Structure 1
Amino acid sequence: MSDTSASPGSSGRRPVVTPTRVVAAFCLIVPFVAMLWVGSYAKVEPDFIGIPFFYWYQMLWVPISAVLTSVAYVIVRREQRARKEGGSA
């Protein structure tokens, strides 16, 4: 029988919560919360070039979400690379 408490390929180490990962999680949670809080943008005014607020607010979050997701990806990859280089020394 094998031990099922550790995921496959892991060395038995628990996940580490670092400030970098907290920032990455914040970057991923912000757009999610902004879109779930419908009451904050469920209105028509102010309009932008004839587009009601409800629509342009949601479309504004598309590039914001892309940037925040990219930031989260880059900082987590940088941390993983630094951890791997530090661990192999």
Structure 2
Amino acid sequence: MSDAPGVGRGVVTPLRVAIGLCLVAPFVAMLWVGSYAKTDPTFIGIPFFYWYQMLWVLISTVLTVTAYKLWQFDQRGRASRDASAASAASSKGGAAE
């Protein structure tokens, strides 16, 4: 175990759960082959099996970008919380001396 500040286990927050779901959803959709292993309905002559997978390429892109933006938001919030905690700790330490 490390005693270094900022090193340790992460905190599970609803935002991080949403990030995980955004990243896991495409895998679940593609690994559940029974849900799309059929030919009907066709879309402009393309069997369902193929256009469903191509649709998930686009959906996966949107979900990955969403997860990235949420992660950036989470990290900015964490950095500001850490900075405010450090500021509070330094002001406490300065008042005690």
Tell whether the structures are fold-level matches, with TM greater than 0.5. yes
Structure 2 residue runs without a partner (length 5+): 85-97
Match of 1:52 in 2: 47
RMSD, matched Cα: 1.6
Q: Report matched runs for 1:8-87 at 5 Å.
A: 11-87=6-82
What TM-score, normalized by structure 2, do the two folds share? Answer: 0.79
Structure 1 CA distance for aligned equivalents of residues 73 and 42 of structure 2: 40
Q: Which structure shows the bigger proportion of residues in helix conformation?
A: 2
Q: 1:44 to 1:24 in 2, by over 3 A?
A: same
Structure 1 residue runs without a partner (length 5+): none
What TM-score, normalized by structure 1, do the two folds share? Answer: 0.86
Structure 2 CA distance for aligned equivalents of residues 10 and 58 of structure 1: 45
Q: Which amino acid aligns with 1:66?
A: T
Q: Identity of paired residues, percent?
A: 58
How far is the alpha carbon of 1:10 from its aligned partner?
7.3
* Runs of 4+ with deviation above 6 angstroms: none
